[in-house]
Amino acid sequence: MSLLTRPLRRALLAALLLPLLAACSPPPQPSDGAGDKTLTIGITQYPSTLHPNIESMVAKSYLRGMTARALTIYNRDWQLECSLCVELPTLENGLATLEQTPAGEPGIAVTFEIPAGLRWGDGQALTTADFEFAWQVGRTSGSGVNNLELYRSAYQFDRLDEQRFTLHLDRVTFGYNQLGDLYPLPAHLEAELFANDPLEYRHRTLYNSDVTNPGLYYGPYLITAVEQGASLTLQRNPHWHGRSPYFDRVVVKAIQNTSAMEANLLSGTIDMVAGELGLQLDQAISFANRHGEKFNIVYKPGLQYEHIDVNLDNTILTDLRVRQALLYGIDREEMNQRIFAGQQPVADGPVSPLDRVASATVQRYPYAPERAAELLEAAGWQVGANGVRVNAAGEPLRIEIMSTAGNKTRELLQQVIQGQLKQIGVDLRINNQAPRVFFGQTTRERRFSGLALFAWISAPESVPRSTLHSSEIPTAANSYAGQNYPGFANAEMDQLLEQLETTLELSARLPLWHRLQAIYAEQLPALPLFWRPNSYIYPLWLRGAEPTGHLDSSTNWIEEWYRQP
């Protein structure tokens, strides 16, 4: 254990010193052509689409931070602020006002202003018309956008002028000014495609068919070259309205095998590994032990929730006793100690202990194989001749678990879980896929037959409507929008989610949050595993890069990154 904890302490000290070093370093000089102005980043996934409002994937969010900006963002201190707006609307400053909806219900009107002179990468003006077009796409049933509730609730869009618009929401929510999911779309390029066939738009969008078109982007960088499934090259955007980035060129390489990621880093093929999508904690600890003096290794605790989604259409997993038995049969603390040097805390549900709304009294599932066996026997699964439990019809207790192929840590976790569940009579079969397929199709269309191991990352006090509300279950009818991959449908949970959003005072929200966590622990639509710190591996010369620990990735501030000579 001591061989692991000494480098970890050095790495954690580096994590504390990095912001201080960045603050004390001189500001980056304007690009003068001298030196290497290319930054090459390794990530473990390739995005299934680059459309900013369709599908949820960390790889896309990481790239999106360089090519676009949301209206609002949670900053590195976990505070909400403007990213593409001039002033954050609040009830206090009058940019948000209470009103009645056409149905006579309480509503709210929220007015945003975007900076003057915004342009798409092809030079076309970016105006409120592009936000209105994005809103129209989101309001169209079957378009496949994320965050269906946002577009359902935003029943009216008023363009006040080229820079100001008002959204009318049909309910008063505490997150009324959190529009991190509404990205403008280039109406001059996409509107005709959408009008021709709205239901096929998500397949025909230029974000899939012409990804190097500069008119699709408006961030500090444009995507200028693509090697499908392998890499994307980004160049400075000449029409970017903000601070000019230091690096002329950024290359993002998708290296799905984490051993290959290490080899590329050590050979200099890549400069850094993105913490949002890089080496997991055990691999980073091992890497620090062997090569820590050559890199700046930073560990950032945060809101990354490693878990196993349960397909509740599976007749075996429909039985709550089986789900509870599975969790009792997994020794998560042992894995934390042996694999992660005790630095990856066991999760009890989808709300991090770091979040102010976490419950201290939620039901916990310690490792208890005897209790797991009792639950399985009560559910009708008796030990068979070969040690695998069978039901009354002689069918084996066989469950498939899927995850991202090439991720060595997840593959190790699967093997450990497989061995532990074998001890209670469960035959767990491993079947992994490339991340692009796993996230782009298998989970999104609920094609996993049993269990799906992956992670969600959220913003602070993020209401998990998209993953737990019954209206967010992906189906063919809604073009597989929504992220409730288990198919969880619970009337009380639906009511809590809706009530949470409309309760403005934190003191009144806390009991609702605590009940939500209690239901999750009782019903187990997913099996909680760990709260995962992200591991960032930076070159010693990089300055300005700072992890956030939440949904909004560090690339949203890439114009602050620079090379220290």
Q: Where are the beta strands (DSSP E) in 407-472?
A: 427-430, 451-457
* Residue 314, phi-psi category: left (phi > 0), alpha (psi -120 to 50), beta (remainder): beta
Lowest mean pLDDT among 30-39, 207-216, 336-345, 470-479: 30-39
pLDDT of residue 459: 81
Contacts of 555 by beta carbon, 8 Å cutoff, 6+ apart: 62, 63, 64, 65, 66
Structure confidence at residue 143 (pLDDT): 80
The two structure tokens encoding residue 26: 């001189």
- 461-490 confidence digits (pLDDT tens): 889 999 999 999 999 988 888 899 999 999
* Degrees to nearest 5, angle at CA 49 with 46 and 52: 115
Confidence of residue 35 (pLDDT cuts 50, 70, 90): low
The answer as to whether 209 is a domain residue is: no
323 and 370 part of one domain: yes
Q: Are residues 476 and 339 in the same domain?
A: yes
Question: Among 268-272, 292-296, 434-438, which is the least confidently predicted range?
Answer: 434-438
| Rounded Cα distance, 502 and 197, in Å | 35
**Residue 495 domain-assigned?**
yes
Question: CA 70 to CA 343: how far, in whole Å?
Answer: 32
202 occurs within a structural domain? no
Q: Name the token pair of 251.
A: 């290359």
SS3 call for 367: coil
- Give the E-state strand segments of 177-237 in sequence order: 221-227, 231-236
Give yes or no for a contact between 275 and 298, defined as CB atoms under 8 angstroms apart: yes
Q: 359-392, pLDDT tens digit by residue?
A: 999 999 999 999 999 999 999 999 998 999 999 9
Say which amino acid occupies 63.
L
One-letter amino acid at 440 equals: G
449, 502: one domain = yes
Cross-strand bridge partners of residue 223: 234
Domain check: are 269 and 416 in the same one? no
Residue 222's Cβ-side half-sphere holds a number of Cα atoms within 13 Å equal to 20
Range of the domain at 499: 304-531
Q: Does one domain contain both 399 and 476?
A: yes
CA distance 202 to 194: 9
Per-residue pLDDT of 106-165, as tens digits, reads 999 999 999 999 999 999 999 999 999 999 999 998 787 877 788 889 999 999 999 999
Confidence of residue 28 (pLDDT cuts 50, 70, 90): very low
The domain total for the chain is 3
Q: Are residues 512 and 547 in the same domain?
A: no
- The model's confidence at residue 21, banded by pLDDT at 50, 70 and 90, is very low
> What's residue 12's pLDDT?
36
Is there a single domain that holds both residue 521 and residue 554? no
Above pLDDT 70, what percent of the chain? Answer: 94
Query: Tens digits of per-residue pLDDT, 210-254?
Result: 999 999 999 999 999 999 999 999 999 999 999 999 999 999 999
Are residues 377 and 402 located together in one domain of the fold?
A: yes
Q: What is the CATH number of the domain that holds 285?
A: 3.40.190.10
Same domain, 140 and 163: yes
Q: Verify that 557 and 463 share a domain, yes or no.
A: no
3-state secondary structure of 319: coil
Q: How confident is the model at residue 5 (pLDDT cuts 50, 70, 90)?
A: very low
- Give the pLDDT score at 26: 39
Q: How does strand 231-236 pair with strand 164-169?
A: unpaired
- Given a contact cutoff of 8 angstroms between Cβ atoms, the answer to whether 490 and 523 are in contact is yes
Residue 195, in any domain of the structure = no
Q: For residues 461 and 429, state if they share a domain.
A: yes
539, β-bridge pairs? 295
Mean pLDDT value across the chain:
91
Q: The whole model's pTM is what?
A: 0.74
What's the CATH number where 517 sits? 3.10.105.10
pLDDT class of 4 with cuts at 50, 70, 90: very low
| Whether residue 389 is found in the same domain as residue 346 | yes
What is the CATH classification number for the domain harbouring 115? 3.90.76.10
DSSP state at residue 181: T
Beta-bridge partners for 531: 305
- CA dist 68 and 234 (Å) reads 12
